[in-house]
């Protein structure tokens, strides 16, 4: 009451007749209550100095330790149409078991004898390669024969040239002798004509000498013609030699050109053979892709594409499979402010959805229904939910609390990473001020913790 009125009821009304007054205002009740408050305060003060384990909590779910053990979907690398199912959902399959048979929908692959016809084309091209090889050998032999024939022809022409040169020398000597005979005949005719003018020789002698002179002149002209003919034969022999060089060079070049053309055709045929072999191998592999098989041992979870006759694209998911052999792990997420507090090998307590638990975050040893784990991987890039992903594996040192056998991949999990031990009063003061837990770094070689960093 504000006591703004002069009519004070507490002075006019007495409470001594009531039992509650006697219990509240008696000396004995005051002592009991005071002792209770004192004991409670003492217990509270003592509790403030009890140890408290700082922690970082997060929500996640159960996963597997390695990526190849996680649930996966099976895709077809080629487009097709569903033709026959060999399993149903929930079946166990081993690696290599046939799950589904599909058929081809692309027109260029629908020929049932596609691989056989491709192999026939490859064999035909292979025989073409052999034919080109034989042609190359024949052209090489032809070039060798032309080279030998050219050598013989050149030897024959060179011999003829030598003979022509020798004949020129012989005719040149005969021509010189004819010139000498002409000079002699000329001097004899002049001498006889001089003696006839002096009356010492008869006219018939002069005429005989003149006739001999003319005969000598005729022989000289004939010998000169013969010499010119021999020289012309030398020129012809040289021309023949050059013609043989040019003719056989052309023939040999043509044969070599034909051989190079055959080699080019052979290389092209070999390339086509290699291409056809590649196509044949690809077609064989494509035929094997019509049977969708299990990549590993596991259970068929869900048929994503169902029915018969339904078509799908390449890489489209067809069926989900869960591996039968896997190592459990927990994938949890922590806020960026808590990331520096997380280290590899950090102790973590985990509470699984569906398993009852009583958990005291500050006193993990007094908790019930939680399981131990250790941090094995910390993501270095933030996830889409704005937190960092952390992977937790079972604690190998915690043999007494093995993870439940019936926990399934995908189940929810609540994680508490255990940090440094501090007094309760410090934790209360930290929470009231909104400070983060103490930052520390683990000592190399064990899981102990160093002093907090300043």
pLDDT digits (tens, 9 = 90+) for 7-48: 666 666 666 666 666 666 655 556 776 777 878 888 877 777
Q: Among 162, 154, 164, which Cα is nearest to 234's?
A: 164
pLDDT in tens, 405-416: 888 888 888 888
Cα gap 407→394, rounded to integer Å = 13
Task: Tell me the sheet residues that pair with 63.
Answer: 329
pLDDT exceeds 90 at position 401: no
Identify the three-state secondary structure at position 427: helix
Cα gap 308→331, rounded to integer Å = 38
User: Is 0.75 surpassed by the pTM of this model?
Assistant: no
pLDDT-derived band of residue 277, with 50, 70 and 90 as boundaries? Answer: very high
Q: Which domains does the chain show, CATH number per domain?
A: 49-69+326-433 (2.40.30.170), 72-104+290-323 (2.40.50.100), 114-288 (1.10.287.620)
pLDDT exceeds 90 at position 450: no
Element (H, E) at 279: helix 203-288
Cα gap 426→329, rounded to integer Å = 33
Task: Tell me the sheet residues that pair with 393.
Answer: 374
CA angle, residues 413, 419, 421, in degrees to nearest 5? 130
pLDDT in tens, 91-148: 999 999 999 999 998 888 888 888 899 999 999 999 999 998 999 999 899 999 999 9
pLDDT for the residue 449: 47
pLDDT for the residue 178: 86
* Residue matched to tokens 């060179």: 158
pLDDT exceeds 70 at position 313: yes
Name, in order, each residue with C-beta under 8 angstroms of 379's C-beta and a sequence gap of 6 or more: 388, 389, 390
pLDDT in tens, 281-299: 999 998 889 999 999 999 9
Name, in order, each residue with C-beta under 8 angstroms of 390's C-beta and a sequence gap of 6 or more: 58, 60, 331, 332, 333, 334, 342, 375, 377, 378, 379
* Average pLDDT in the chain: 82
pLDDT in tens, 145-165: 999 988 898 888 888 888 888
């Amino acid at each position: 009451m504000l006591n703004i009125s002069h009519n004070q009821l507490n002075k006019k009304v007495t409470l001594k007749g009531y039992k509650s007054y006697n219990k509240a205002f008696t000396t004995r009740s005051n002592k009991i209550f005071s002792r209770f408050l004192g004991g409670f305060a003492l217990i509270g003060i003592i509790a403030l100095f009890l140890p408290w384990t700082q922690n970082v909590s997060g929500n996640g779910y159960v996963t597997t330790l390695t990526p190849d053990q996680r649930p996966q979907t099976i895709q077809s690398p080629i487009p097709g149409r569903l033709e026959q199912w060999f399993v149903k959902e929930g079946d166990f399959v081993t690696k290599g078991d046939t799950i589904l048979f599909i058929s081809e929908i692309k027109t260029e692959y629908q020929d049932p004898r596609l691989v056989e016809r491709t192999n026939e084309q490859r064999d035909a091209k292979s025989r073409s390669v052999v034919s080109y090889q034989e042609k190359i050998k024949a052209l090489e032999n032809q070039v060798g024969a032309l080279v030998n024939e050219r050598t013989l022809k050149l030897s024959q022409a060179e011999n003829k040239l030598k003979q022509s040169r020798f004949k020129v020398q012989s005719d040149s000597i005969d021509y010189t002798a004819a010139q000498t005979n002409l000079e002699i005949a000329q001097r004899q005719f002049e001498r006889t004509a001089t003696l006839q003018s002096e009356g010492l020789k008869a006219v018939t002698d002069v005429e005989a000498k003149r006739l001999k002179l003319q005969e000598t002149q005729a022989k000289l002209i004939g010998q000169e013609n013969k010499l010119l003919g021999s020289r012309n034969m030398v020129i012809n022999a040289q021309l023949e030699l050059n013609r043989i060089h040019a003719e056989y060079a052309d023939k040999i070049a043509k044969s070599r050109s034909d051989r190079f053309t055959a080699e080019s055709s052979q290389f092209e045929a070999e390339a086509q053979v290699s291409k056809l072999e590649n196509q044949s191998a690809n077609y064989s592999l494509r035929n094997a892709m019509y049977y969708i098989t299990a990549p590993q041992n596991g259970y068929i979870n869900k048929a994503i594409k169902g029915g018969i006759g339904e078509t799908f694209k390449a890489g489209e998911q067809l069926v989900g499979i869960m591996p039968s052999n896997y190592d459990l792990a927990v994938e949890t997420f922590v806020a960026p402010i808590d990331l520096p507090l997380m280290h590899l090998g950090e102790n973590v307590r985990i509470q699984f959805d569906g398993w009852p638990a009583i958990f005291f975050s500050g006193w993990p040893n007094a908790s019930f229904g939680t399981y131990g784990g250790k941090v094995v991987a910390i993501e270095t890039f933030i996830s889409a939910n704005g937190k960092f992903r952390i992977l937790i594996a079972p604690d190998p040192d915690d043999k007494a609390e093995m993870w439940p056998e019936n926990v399934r991949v995908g189940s929810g999990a609540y994680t508490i990473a255990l940090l440094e031990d501090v007094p309760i009063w410090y934790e209360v003061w930290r929470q009231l001020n909104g400070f983060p837990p103490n930052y520390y770094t683990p000592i190399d070689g064990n899981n102990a913790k160093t002093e907090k960093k300043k």
